[in-house]
């Protein structure tokens, strides 16, 4: 017993000394980086969190040597198996691999990895080591859930970065291409890198699509319409009808301002907006400004008053109708929910029905982005925003890409810079890289009040424009559409938000993820969706008794919205009402790039 106490005491002393030394070094490094200006506060915060995570791993190693030893024994067994596999292949005997990539891991698909024994052994050794490391981190004791998720995230970033597929001398496919092309692939790769650096001044993002293949207003966002209203935060587009008659109640769409609205209006066949117009809707869409330093002090309530509330007034002016239907997508839906609660307090009833597309109202489980939701990270983001006045949208895009780093970063790194290939022309990825900035005041409020403290679902915990808001008081019928594979707005969390919402609630679950689950036109006949007229306490119970339907959810929603459209009236042309036409759709706000906005 005395011996165990001595060992424990010694281990704790070692951990304390180790922590003290690491913290001192970390503080000195952060001070030097901050003073030189080489790294901004957001990156410093991330570096600090990574350092803390790796330090905690080292602590666990010192405090639990037996658990580490057990993991090492298991690792040694697997490497012994790899040695036997290697010997069998050298002697021409049949042998199965010791470990294989996961089904969705595309890094080692090329036959070159299996054809050449050294690279076969290399990729298997990497997989053995990386899986063992991640399993060891996952099994660390005494960590709360958020800390464990954060540790796993940074451990995964480390193992993904060290993959032999990312380096020219350890990737046999790259070596073969280099031999065949006499090194021109590396020359082309340098050109691609230079172009990506030019396209993203002061902030590197790997190229994901051929940017030269797309033009907003040229072959994207082409549904005919006019800008009929604008203010300092948004333009309002009214689309030209394609039917002789339309539903009496106009339809207002509030898209996210973290990305641009034309996700809803990509190519003609995939355009949700064009489909709505063809169904006889008078469609209005908010096109948010790409903010810069001048919009630093615009807050959440400014987005409410200058966004949905101003748009509702403009729709009334344009159509003469007092009431309308509304759709909110992602953070646009979060804003719409806030606005509806505010209108309820004001006893104003301009909205007949609301539709929420992959929208978080309850933030109890923020999905993969939760690894960045803590006071330390948010303070780093706030310090960076205080200096610039906004969060650069390209930085947010990079953060989201790291949630699926092998698919959304390293695969493009290898293709673009090592193989020297140009990215394919893909409209969805063009939109994904066409980011928007976020004003400092608004984004700080959003991160703290909603993501960190989850106050939107608390009755009267938040106040906007002089009124406390309570989602449960809303009595307008609502349609919630979530996506089963969504890693940004997880469907079980959106379900919790739907339960808080007042009034009659219809919840529908689509297949696929945050984008494809929404932008799923009927002609594709893909993914399917689930419906259930009940709204039980648990999301799993809802799904257990839900009915699956093939194809797109769009026609199902069309049947639902018909209850709130009113009778048919003659089609309305932009400019027929009290609002003048300002310019053609898609307008000028949507064409401003994040880097350009940051200079304004």
Residues that are catalytic: 330
Relative to beta strand 324-329, strand 351-357 is parallel
Residue that has been written with the tokens 């207002």 in this structure = 252
Q: Which two tokens stand for residue 50?
A: 């990574």
| DSSP structure string for 146-159 | HHHHHHHHHHHHHH
CA 390/CA 399 separation, integer angstroms: 16
Terminal-to-terminal C-alpha distance of the chain: 69
> Is 598 within 8 Å of 392 (Cβ atoms)?
yes
> Is 564 within 8 Å of 477 (Cβ atoms)?
yes
Strand partners for 481: 357, 508
Residue that has been written with the tokens 């790769």 in this structure = 189
Q: Which residues of 544-568 are buried (b: 16+ CB within 10 A; e: fewer)?
A: eebeeeebbbbebbbebbeebbeee
CA 401/CA 205 separation, integer angstroms: 10
Sequence-ordered alpha helix ranges (H) in 162-271:
172-180, 184-199
Within a 10 A sphere around the Cβ of 117, how many other Cβ atoms?
12
3-state SS string over 380-415? Answer: HHHHHHHHHCEECHHHHHHHHHHCCHHHHHHHHHHH
Which residues neighbour 386 within 8 Å (Cβ) at sequence distance 6 or greater? Answer: 440
CA 112/CA 119 separation, integer angstroms: 8
Q: Which two tokens stand for residue 229?
A: 């209203």
């Amino acid at each position: 017993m005395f011996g165990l106490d001595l060992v424990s005491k010694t281990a704790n002393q070692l951990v304390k000394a180790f922590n003290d030394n690491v913290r001192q070094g970390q503080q000195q490094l952060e001070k030097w980086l901050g003073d030189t200006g080489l790294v901004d506060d957001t990156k410093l915060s991330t570096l600090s969190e990574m350092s803390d995570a790796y330090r905690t791993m080292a602590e666990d190693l010192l405090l639990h040597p037996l658990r580490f030893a057990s993991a090492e024994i298991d690792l040694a067994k697997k490497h012994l198996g790899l040695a036997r596999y290697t010997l069998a292949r050298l002697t021409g005997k049949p042998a199965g691999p010791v470990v294989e990539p996961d089904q969705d891991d595309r890094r080692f698909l090329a036959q070159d990895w299996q054809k050449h024994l050294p690279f076969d052994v290399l990729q298997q050794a990497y997989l053995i080591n990386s899986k063992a490391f991640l399993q060891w981190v996952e099994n660390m004791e005494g960590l709360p859930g958020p800390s464990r998720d954060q540790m796993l995230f940074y451990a995964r970033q480390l193992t993904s970065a060290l993959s032999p597929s990312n380096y020219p001398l350890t990737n046999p496919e790259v070596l073969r291409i280099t031999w065949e092309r006499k090194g021109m692939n590396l020359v082309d790769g340098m050109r691609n890198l230079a172009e990506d650096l030019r396209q993203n001044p002061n902030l590197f993002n790997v190229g994901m699509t051929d940017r030269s293949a797309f033009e907003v207003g040229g072959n994207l966002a082409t549904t005919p319409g006019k800008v009929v209203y604008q203010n300092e935060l948004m333009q309002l587009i009214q689309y030209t009808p394609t039917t002789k008659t339309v539903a009496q109640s106009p339809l207002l769409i509030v898209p996210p301002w973290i990305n641009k609205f034309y996700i809803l209006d990509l190519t003609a066949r995939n355009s949700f907006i064009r489909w709505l117009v063809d169904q006889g809707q008078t469609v209005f869409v908010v096109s948010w400004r790409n903010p810069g330093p001048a919009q630093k002090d615009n807050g959440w309530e400014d987005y409410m008053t200058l966004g949905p509330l101003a748009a509702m007034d403009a729709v009334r002016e344009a159509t003469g109708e007092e009431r309308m239907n509304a759709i909110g997508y992602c953070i646009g839906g979060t804003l719409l929910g806030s606005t509806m609660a505010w209108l309820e307090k004001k006893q104003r009833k301009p909205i007949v029905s609301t539709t929420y597309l992959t929208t978080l109202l309850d933030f109890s489980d923020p999905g993969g982005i939760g690894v960045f939701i803590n006071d330390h990270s948010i303070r780093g983001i706030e310090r960076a925003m205080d200096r610039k006045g906004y969060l650069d949208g390209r930085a947010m895009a990079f953060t989201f890409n790291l949630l699926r780093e092998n698919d959304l970063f390293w695969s493009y790194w290898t293709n673009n810079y090592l193989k020297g290939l140009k990215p394919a022309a893909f409209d969805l990825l063009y939109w994904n890289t066409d980011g928007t900035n976020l004003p400092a005041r608004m984004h700080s409020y959003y991160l703290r009040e909603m993501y960190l403290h989850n106050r939107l679902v608390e009755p009267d915990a938040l106040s906007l424009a002089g009124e406390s808001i309570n989602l449960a008081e809303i009595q307008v019928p609502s349609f919630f559409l979530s996506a089963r594979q969504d890693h940004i707005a997880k469907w079980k969390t959106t379900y919790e938000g739907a339960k808080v919402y007042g009034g009659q609630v219809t919840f529908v679950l689509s297949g696929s993820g945050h984008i494809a689950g929404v932008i799923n036109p009927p002609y594709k006949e893909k993914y399917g969706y689930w419906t259930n007229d009940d709204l039980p306490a648990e999301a799993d119970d809802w799904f257990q008794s839900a009915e699956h339907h093939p194809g797109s959810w769009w026609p199902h929603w069309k049947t639902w919205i018909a209850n709130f459209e009113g009778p048919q009236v003659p089609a309305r042309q932009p400019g027929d009402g009290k609002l003048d036409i300002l310019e053609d759709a898609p307008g000028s706000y949507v064409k401003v790039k994040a880097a350009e906005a940051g200079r304004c």
